[in-house]
Structure 1
Amino acid sequence: MDTIPSLNTLRSIKTTKNIGETFEGFKKGDDLDQPLSPMARLFHEPGSNVYIIGIMGLKTKIRPNVFKENLVHTFLKNRRFSSLQVMDKETGSMKWIPTHVNIDDHVIVPKLDPNINSPDKFVEDFISNLSRSHIDNIKPLWDLHILDIKTSEAEGTCVFRFHHSLGDGVSLMNLLLACTRKVSDPEALPTLPGNNKLGVAKVASLWSTLGVIWNSFLALLMFVWTALFLEDTRTPMKGSKGVEHRARRFVVRSVSLDDIKMVKRAMNVSLNDVVLGITQAGFYRYLQGRYSNENADIPDNMRFRATFFFNLRPTTRIDDFTDTDSVGTWGNKIGYSLLPFKICFKKDPLDYVVDANTTMKHRKASLEPLFTYLFTKLLMILFGIKVVGKVNHKVFFNTTLWFSNVPGPQEEITFFGHKVAYIAPSCYGQPNALMIHVVSYMDKVTFIISADEETIPDPHKLCNDLEESLRDIKASAQNRIVK
């Protein structure tokens, strides 16, 4: 398979100190240079140079001119989307430099044959080809590709691409949702489920406080060991060296939210526990098939971990997308936990959910996401960006996958007046062969697979296995209710 070009190809751009002489419209003499935050700068390091993809299926024909007009009044009001990221050759530091944006340079509308064979595969191939490239740093690091072709799920597809230095998945999802409105109330923003900080333990006594501190210390120790030497078991889902430079395949599969809620009620667990249980069951089913094809057995007691991302912001409400200085709104404010998956046969499919619930209870009694975030910042202060980039790469490569979920709108929405059929965020450029991203929207939960095809040549099979696992878990839960 062809490899994508190196994503770490930022080159220096000549600018002047007098911004007024360089960018028309700024007051002469203004010093508008703003340094990139250390976390944003980190995403330009090899192995951490990640792009976020936002796939949005629409129920109506796309009007590109409407998109362009609205993007000028939304995205471009945010300085991150109207500034260059300029590297200083001497210091290696980077700054946001305001620039004039030609919206046509960022909104790409390829001419497509409406009678093309297999539109679904064409759209999938198009998005996969995007992961072979990067955005040239002579313009702000985002773009939008409008595919005006009908698929089985939508009348047209929009593919947003953002460099991760612009913000994390939560802030970028916030940006997109701030451009949407409820179908039932065209003046109202959508609502998101939940309003609490994720990944922060709640303690009620001295004993529980000590337990949280101990769990957090052990988690941080595991983080250090993983950065030094502790690698997951080599399986058909574990990526090889250089995986971050290879193209990805993005596959989207939606399941019923009501089915997941039914299991949640039957087991008295969280929706997230059910989703993790489905994922573990699906992984076992998939690996069983891969090992059977090789006439081998699944290894016992394999080490199989996910880098599980947590939002560290105070709330999940939709904020003003134009305010890049709003506390907690922008930037990369995410921590992560190294989440062990138990890949083994369970006679009762509900036991996968039980295992997920037990694992998550342990993680919730810990400050691991906050500790990893603060520890990364401390390493950055002590040793610099280059060292942290290498540490992050080693941790991510030594685990098997990335896992993330983001709550989506609870009601049907429009995006710039177009009804939305589905929302599917994902990433490429990460040093893992697999990422599972889960997002809820209306009555659906969507699994988005980002897979290195050299490692996982059949991501549709993995989606089928996830769907079959939900059916088995749902059937077992129904039997429990009847009894």
Structure 2
Amino acid sequence: MSSPKKEVEEDEPVTPAGRMFLQPEMDQVINCAIGLQHPIDLQAFKEAIKKSMMVQHPRFRSLYVKDKHGREHWRKVKEVDIDKHVFEQSITKDDVCKVADDDEEVVNEYLADLAVSSPLKTDKPLWEIHVLRDQKCLILRIHHSLGDGVSLMSLFLTCCRRVGHPDELPNIGPALTGGIKDTTSIFAKVWRLVLVSLLTLVFVLKFILRSLWVKDEKTVISGGYEVELWPRKLATAKFKLEDMKLVKKAVNNGTINDVLFGVISSGLTRYLDMRSSKEIKEGHQFTGLAMVNIRQQPGLQDLSDLMKNESLSRWGNQFGFILLPLYHHKDIDDPLQYMRRAKAMLDRKKLSLEAHFSYRIGKLVMSLLGPKVAALLNYRVICNTSFTISNVVGPQEELMFAENPITYLRVNSTSLSHAITMHMVSYAGNADMQILVAKEIIPDPQVLAKCFQDALLEMKDAAMGAKIQ
């Protein structure tokens, strides 16, 4: 009689964010495509997985279970059966897309199908890997309840080694250090506190209204109720980090995120002008929903720090949502103006506590009203906005897994009620953004991807011209 009792005592409750992602309305799976340079040795790959930190991590060796009261828990399994998690998929261009010209399109079509119709089974830990041998690609599928982009990328890096240095782990960048003397005047501190309070109040109020009834005006890129069930297409917008860094230097205190949202604003403007049968009014707002890491330390994390209970950078889904209002401005002579407008908006968002509020209020709603209500409110916010965007900083050095060099890292997720979801990951000097669309609404995602790529190149040319002057 003591054995079952002991097993129940060892069960760990699912976090509030994890419970929301496990709801049918928000059942989110992260799909990460990992391109490899050489053909895949399946046996060597499985052996590398068995020895990796991934299968030793508590979340990756636990079943999702419910007790008799319906409460969700993680229950550890004694041993992970790799053969139940790793599948070899033999696909050809004709199997997936008859018009596919190359392996990239085959992989993207395969990912688009996974985004709609392939939930993870709950009779095993909530992850699996699809091996596309012909395309030299691995599809790592991880349920969002296991962790967010920062957590999962930090764990993935522990499974990799540096190219040319097979015994060395990747660098994750310098940690933040304290001890810097604050020389800000009392007046400046008070004024900053006033700004933080006012901006937080305004943005929080707007966020609440979005979850109730305020919505974007309908356009040719709008999604809505049950659009998450519609068939998908996937395209990749490819950027050079060197180009993005050149553009960010053209504006004082610019960041990569400022460049990214300037590119999205410019790209969506030109795409709307191409697609819309009626003229879009100047200043038309299309609102994005972005996920923001709320850990004290930004960027990639050391896995040992993530796993400490007392750490300020804990493992899990430690992010909040913010609303990103972008505007249709087609009569702009200077392409950098899109970035300047985006930067002004992001600077105000950074000063507010909108992301922290959305995270805390989500936990409160989960605790008081349960995951179904929390998922419903989140679903309404998505239905009332125009797109989802996330940006995860990846490693900037070339890595290898199972002694096979990685050529690219690309991420997308289970489809949402948005007609457009965008996920960007940087790796080894490149930044690839996966654009997942409802194909009945946006039949030409490759055109949309080119709009984004052309927007960055125009900003680059403008930045170089400004530098010469």
**Which residue matches 1:110?**
89
Per the alignment, residue 182 of structure 1 pairs with 162
**CA-CA distance at 1:384 after TM superposition:** 2.0
Residue of 191, 200, 209 corresponding to 1:207: 191
Give the CA deviation at 1:303. 2.8
- 1:330 matched to 2:315? The reply is yes
Q: 1:219 to 1:461 in 2, by over 3 A?
A: same
* Kept in 2: contact 1:79–1:324 (CA 8 A): no
| Equivalent of 1:76 in 43, 51, 55 | 55
Report the AA paired with residue 79 of structure 1.
P
Structure 1 partner of 2:349: 363
Q: Deviations over 1:328-385 (max 9, x none)?
A: 3421111121011112212211110111111111111111111111111122222222
Paired amino acid for 2:204: L
Cross-structure match for 1:298: 280
Alpha-carbon distance change, 426 to 115 in structure 1, aligned in 2, over 3 angstroms? closer
SS at match of 1:331: coil
User: In 1, distance between residues paired with 2:120 and 2:258?
Assistant: 37
Question: Aligned pair 1:433/2:413, yes or no?
Answer: no
Which of 323, 326, 336 in structure 2 is aligned with 1:341? 326
> Are 2:211 and 1:227 aligned?
yes
Alpha-carbon distance change, 191 to 70 in structure 1, aligned in 2, over 3 angstroms? same
Distance in 2, matches of 1:212 and 1:85, equals 40
Cα pair distance change 1:323/1:404, threshold 3 Å: closer
In structure 2, runs of 5+ residues without a counterpart are none
Partner of residue 279, structure 1: 264
Q: When you count helix as a share of all residues, which structure comes out higher?
A: 2
1:311 matches 2:290 = no
Scaled by the length of structure 1, what TM-score is found? 0.87
Name the stretch that deviates more: 119-128 or 209-218: 119-128
1:308, 1:353 → 2: CA distance? Answer: 17
| Paired residues of 1:78 and 1:324 also in contact (CA < 8 A) | no
CA contact (8 A) 1:255 1:446 kept: yes
Residue in 2 that maps onto 1:24: none
- Is residue 151–residue 306 contact of structure 2 (8 Å, CA) maintained in 1? no
Residue of structure 2 in register with 1:10 after alignment: none
Q: TM-score, normalised by structure 2?
A: 0.89
Deviates more, 1:357-366 or 1:374-383: 374-383
Is 1:474 aligned with 2:460?
A: yes
1:25 maps to which residue? none
Number of the residue aligned with 1:46: 24
Letter in 1 for 2:151: S
**Residues 181-203 of structure 1: CA deviation (Å, up to 9, x unaligned):** 22143332223457569xxxx99
Q: Displacement, 1:431? A: 2.5
* 1:124 aligned onto 2:102: no
Which amino acid in 1 is paired with 2:322?
S
Q: Do the aligned partners of 2:227 and 2:417 also contact (CA within 8 Å) in 1? A: yes
Distance in 2 between residues matched to 1:41 and 1:30, nearest whole Å:
19
The answer on 1:354 being equivalent to 2:340 is yes
Contact 2:196 2:351 in 1 (8 A): yes
What is the rounded CA distance, in whole Å, between the counterparts of 1:30 and 1:287 in structure 2? 55
Q: Which residue of 2 aligns with 1:382?
A: 368
Give the match for residue 243 of structure 1: 227
Relative to 1, partners in 2 of residues 1:246 and 1:177: Cα closer, same or farther, differing over 3 Å?
A: farther
Distance across 1 between alignment mates of 2:304 and 2:137: 23
* Amino acid aligned to 2:414: Y
How far, CA to CA, are the matches of 2:29 and 2:7 in structure 1? 34
Q: Residue 308 of structure 1 contacts residue 338 of structure 1 at CA under 8 Å; is this kept in 2? A: yes
Deviations 1:397-442 (A, max 9, x none): 2111111111111111112321111111121132212111122212
Q: Is the 8 A contact 2:150 2:300 kept in 1?
A: no
Asked whether the equivalents of residues 216 and 287 of structure 2 are also in contact (C-alpha less than 8 Å), the reply is yes
**Secondary structure class of the residue paired with 1:391:** helix
Q: Is the alpha carbon distance of 1:72 and 1:477 closer, same or farther for their aligned partners in structure 2, counting shifts above 3 Å?
A: same
1:178–1:319 contact (8 Å) kept in structure 2? no
The answer to which of 122-131 and 132-141 deviates more is 122-131
CA distance in structure 2 between the aligned counterparts of 1:111 and 1:275, rounded to whole angstroms: 36
Distance change in 2, residues 1:247/1:73 (3 Å): farther
Distance (Å, rounded) in 2 between the aligned partners of 1:320 and 1:297 = 50
Change (3 A) 1:205 1:107: same
**Are the equivalent residues in 1 in contact too, given 2:264–2:452 (CA < 8 A)?**
yes
Measured in 2, the distance between the counterparts of 1:475 and 1:432 equals: 32
**Contact persistence 1:78–1:321 (CA under 8 A):** no
8 Å CA contact retained: 2:300, 2:393: no
Does the 8 A contact of 2:419 with 2:441 survive in 1? yes
Residue 396 (structure 2) pairs with residue 417 (structure 1) = no
Relative to structure 1, the CA distance from residue 234 to residue 244 in structure 2 (aligned partners, 3 Å threshold; closer, same or farther) is same
Relative distance call for 1:196 and 1:230 in structure 2 (3 A) is farther
* Alignment coverage as a number of residue pairs: 448
Quickly say closer, same or farther: Cα 1:205–1:113, change in 2 above 3 A.
closer
Structure 1 counterpart of 2:120, one-letter code: I
Counterpart contact for 2:300–2:394, Cα < 8 Å: no
Letter in structure 2 aligned against 1:281: S
SS at match of 2:223: coil
AA paired with 1:334? F
Inter-CA distance 194–388: structure 2 relative to 1 (3 Å threshold): farther
In the alignment, structure 1 segments of 5+ residues that lack a partner are 1-15, 21-27, 151-155
1:159 to 118, 134, 139: 139
Distance 1:47 1:195, change over 3 A: farther
Q: How far did residue 390 of structure 1 move?
A: 0.9
Question: Cα gap change, 1:195/1:353 in structure 2, threshold over 3 Å: closer, same or farther?
Answer: farther
1:231–1:398: 8 Å Cα contact kept in structure 2?
yes
Confirm whether residue 171 of structure 1 aligns to residue 145 of structure 2: no
RMSD between aligned residues: 2.4
Amino acid at match of 1:287: L
Q: CA deviation at 1:112?
A: 4.4
CA distance in 1, matches of 2:445, 2:93: 27
1:403 maps to what in 2? 389
The code of the aligned residue for 1:177 comes to L
Indicate the SS of the match to 2:250: helix
